[in-house]
Amino acid sequence: MSFTTTDDHQEIYFEAHGAGATTLVFVSGYFGIANIWQPVIRRVSSKYRCIAYDSRGYGRSSKPTDEKAYSIPRHAADLHTVLTTCNVRSQIVLITHSMGGSIGAAYHLAHPDRVTGLIQTGTYLDGVRMGKLLTYDMLTAGVENPSRCVAFYTAMGLDPSTALEAAKWPAYCRRHNAKALLAWDIGDRYATFNIPGLVVQGDLDQATPVESLARPIADAMPRCRLEVLKGVVHFPPTEAPADMERLIEGFVKEL
């Protein structure tokens, strides 16, 4: 558990677990903390090196007040800072959640030689498409009220004890990250991703529905498949960690 400093002088909290020839890098989304990956990391860290971190605006990382300090490419640059600090030289498998899928995609576009595989969970094609179903007002409703922040995530399937973390974040961070989320437009660039991909989506996910927001990624990427988990809402890493372990191990073996 440690901190690194970005090129715009923000501190990013990160933690590394386990060891192995393959490095798994876990990227969180609009619930931007490493905690959601702990159920999965506990299962796989005996086989792989695992790195997770808190995104800017969340958890133990810096929370800049300037709206311009938040964007999907900026989050991707923070990810690169974490990997550089951790001295990650080999190719990595990115495992993402929700907005983290956009961050992972942006990272691959910026560093195509560094990513050997991309697993996206609870994901969506991009913010422009997401905004047609989940607007800025919907994302930021009640951000001044800690109880409503917690309720927002529990309604999406997150366990109450983890969702309580959302009560600690400044309202402006959620607003800035909501704008960053919705501004990201990947266009047709998923078609250029010549790496294996896996999209893992809950069949009960109403925030990022399978057919309208997740399947288009699997259809666009030349080497990607879609896995739909029954009875899962928006948080496969916490709702179905055993399934995630199985899918990660199968994915890595096929690389």
Rounded Cα distance, 44 and 241, in Å: 10
So where are the chain's domains?
2-244
| pLDDT on residue 39 | 98
- The CA angle 231-121-147, to the nearest 5 degrees, is 70
The percentage of the chain sitting over the pLDDT mark of 70, rounded to a whole number, equals: 100
Mean pLDDT of the region 76-84: 98
Confidence of residue 34 (pLDDT cuts 50, 70, 90): very high
| pLDDT on residue 43 | 98
Q: Which residues contact 68 (CB under 8 A, 6 or more apart)?
A: none
- Which of these, 190, 179, 191, 188, lies nearest to 131 by C-alpha position? 179
The answer to whether 138 touches 207, Cβ cutoff 8 Å, is no
- Which of these, 35, 55, 59, lies nearest to 160 by C-alpha position? 35
| pLDDT on residue 90 | 78
Longest Cα pair distance anywhere in the chain, in angstroms?
Answer: 46
Q: Which helix (H) or strand (E) holds 243?
A: helix 241-253
- The conformation of residue 10, written as its DSSP 8-state character, comes to -
CB atoms within 10 A of CB 43: 17
Q: Which residue is listed with tokens 């969970």? A: 121
Rounded Cα distance, 89 and 116, in Å: 12
pLDDT at 1 over 80: no
Mean pLDDT of the region 205-223: 97
Q: Which residues contact 245 (CB under 8 A, 6 or more apart)?
A: 40, 43, 44
Architecture of the 2-244 domain: 3-Layer(aba) Sandwich (3.40)
Rounded Cα distance, 72 and 123, in Å: 14
Sign, CA dihedral 212-199-148-66, equals: negative
